[in-house]
Amino acid sequence: MFKLVGLIASRRGQQLARYEAVRCASSQSFMMNLFSGQLQTTQLFPYPDVLNEDQREYLQAFIDPVNRFFTDVNDSKRNDEASHVDERTMDAMWELGVMGYGTPVEYGGLGLTNVQAARLNDITGGFDLALSIHAGAHQSIGTKGIILYGSAEQKEKYLPQLATGKVFGAFALTEPSVGSDAASVKSRAVLSPCGKYYILNGTKIWCSGGGIADIFTTFAQTEVVDPETGEKRDKMTAFIVERGFGGVSSGTPESKMGLKCSVTTDVYFDDVKVPVENVLGEVGNGFKVAVNILNSGRFGLAAMLSGTMRACIQKAAEHVTTRVQFKRKLKDFENVQEKLARMAMHHYVAQTLTFMVSGNMDKGSTEYHLEAAITKVFGTEAGWYVCDEAIQLLGGNGYMKATGLEQFMRDMRVFRIFEGANDVLRLFIALTGIQFAGQQLKGLQKALKNPLMNMGLILQEGSKRLSRSIGSGGTNLEQFVADPLKDSAKLCSQSRSADNDW
């Protein structure tokens, strides 16, 4: 009898330990934990202010020349009408170092941190979205793969050219029949009999900078042998491909709604001999390479649109403070004030998310993918909302080209499509969060299958949920916020506690 009781107690202890291990294996990601009913605030409070004094001074010294470039050298309307960036403008961008802003200093780049890069994108987005993308596609996705996954030899060979050598890089992933389902690319790379190079064949579409790039980060299916089973199967691999390898050609530039000066073309790879040394990362690991390149750059899109939103709000504010209707300035009408307030709110949230994500990345966080996706979705949709409302406030004037708002609208429309369509990112956010929460609940699920043997464990979890539902558990947000927000924080904590009773 005593032996049986001892066995039951021992089993209960083992199950409790296993459950606690699963339950406590929390992520540092705020959103991942939120899906599982936990409030992990380290990513949010205190707000990640990561720049030291030297970094602030370095950034400030860079901001003034960039502002002067956009006011004195660049002509956004000319770029848009010509669907081209002239040589003088591009030379000035190379001289500024903008084309290598994220490349480490040892390879000739500016070595900006993620927060510094976000601030740069915030500035450029307020002047010219198309030129921002022209430079951003080169740096944030065309070069980023080599920065993240390149070997020492690859970095030494390619990064100085891409940072200062007036050599463009491009990211070639999308294909005629493959968009959001990136792992299903049809391009193929076959290892040569001598084992020294791959023969690459395939077609890529909508490649930003594809017509002028000399170095491509591209992706193709390769045959991979499972080391355990010996089974052969196709897996995607990333490659660094030079136009000079031969067999690389580009189609005619696409005629687009917006971002006209950013050259977008098809790219064709016909029997291109790619040295095995140009595999980026590991063979068969291309999907991870592609996803992490895109994840690491998504905050940049929201940063650009933060600048665009600020410019739209400024144009709207200038109009309503001078325009008189019904013997009153527009700014004095309550519905106009509400529009401006909502526009400012959307801008503030998008900008705050951008610097929160980039700040956590600079702190060394590796669990930011959900937050980056949310920032991209919210930032791009907030940008559209703010621009549309600015046009509405300007009325007929807003519809005219002279204000620049219609160009902003044309340029920003694609932001909800590229680097992860918002519809797909919404699914990614939900499915990733639910999967994480499901893993957290496995221990409890097993316990519920045999309630008599796990009564202590079930009662323990039940008491925790009860305490949260009556507001006696969970994180108190009041300690993290400024005095004017404490009442709102208290309500948020109470609401969160009640919602956790699931």
Distance CA 209, CA 395 (A): 36
Distance CA 398, CA 422 (A): 27
* C-alpha closest to that of 210 among 181, 241, 231, 165: 241
Residue range 366-386, pLDDT digits in tens: 899 999 999 999 999 999 999
Q: Token pair 């591009």 is at which residue?
A: 90
Q: What is the DSSP letter of 175?
A: B
Q: Which tokens is 65 given?
A: 């020349």
Residue range 337-357, pLDDT digits in tens: 999 999 999 999 999 999 999
pLDDT value of residue 80:
96
Instruction: Provide the β-strand partners of residue 219.
Output: 238
The class level of CATH for 170-288 reads mainly beta
Determine whether 419 is an active site residue: yes
Strands 279-280 and 324-325: unpaired
Q: What is the DSSP string of 4-21?
A: HHHHHHHHHHHHHHHHHH
Per-run averaged pLDDT (10 residues), the chain, 502 residues? 48 50 64 84 84 94 94 96 95 94 96 96 97 94 97 98 95 90 91 97 96 97 89 96 98 96 97 98 96 91 98 98 95 97 97 96 92 97 98 97 97 95 95 86 65 57 53 62 80 64 48
Distance CA 127, CA 427 (A): 33
* C-alpha closest to that of 390 among 337, 334, 315, 310: 315
Distance CA 483, CA 479 (A): 9
Residue 28, class by beta-carbon neighbours within 10 Å (0-12 exposed, 13-18 middle, 19+ buried)?
Answer: middle
pLDDT value of residue 486:
84
Q: Which tokens is 378 given?
A: 């919210």
Cis peptide before 46 (omega within 30 of 0): yes
pLDDT value of residue 460:
60
Count of other CB atoms within 10 angstroms of residue 379: 30
pTM as predicted:
0.86
* C-alpha closest to that of 135 among 220, 63, 66, 34: 66
Domain with CATH 1.20.140.10 in the chain: 295-430
Domain with CATH 2.40.110.10 in the chain: 170-288
CATH T-level assignment (fold) for domain 295-430: Butyryl-CoA Dehydrogenase, subunit A; domain 3 (1.20.140)
SS3 of residue 336 by DSSP: helix
Phi, psi angles (nearest 5°) of residue 498: -65, -40
Strands 264-275 and 197-208: antiparallel
Count of other CB atoms within 10 angstroms of residue 271: 10
pLDDT value of residue 458:
53
Residue 270 carries which side chain, given as an amino acid letter?
D
Instruction: Provide the β-strand partners of residue 66.
Output: none
Q: Which tokens is 244 given?
A: 């000079």
Distance CA 495, CA 497 (A): 5
Residue 354 carries which side chain, given as an amino acid letter?
T
pLDDT value of residue 493:
72
Chain mean position to CA 414: 15
SS3 of residue 260 by DSSP: coil
Residue range 290-307, pLDDT digits in tens: 999 998 889 999 999 999
pLDDT value of residue 452:
54
Q: Give Rg (Cα) of the chain.
A: 26
pLDDT value of residue 335:
97
Residue range 164-175, pLDDT digits in tens: 989 999 999 999
Question: Which of these is catalytic: 175, 419, 461, 478?
Answer: 419
Instruction: Provide the β-strand partners of residue 232.
Output: 225
Q: What is the DSSP letter of 178?
A: B
Contacts 24+ apart (CB under 8 A), 492-500: 496/39, 497/468, 497/469, 497/470, 497/471, 497/473, 498/469, 498/471, 500/37, 500/465, 500/468, 500/469, 500/474
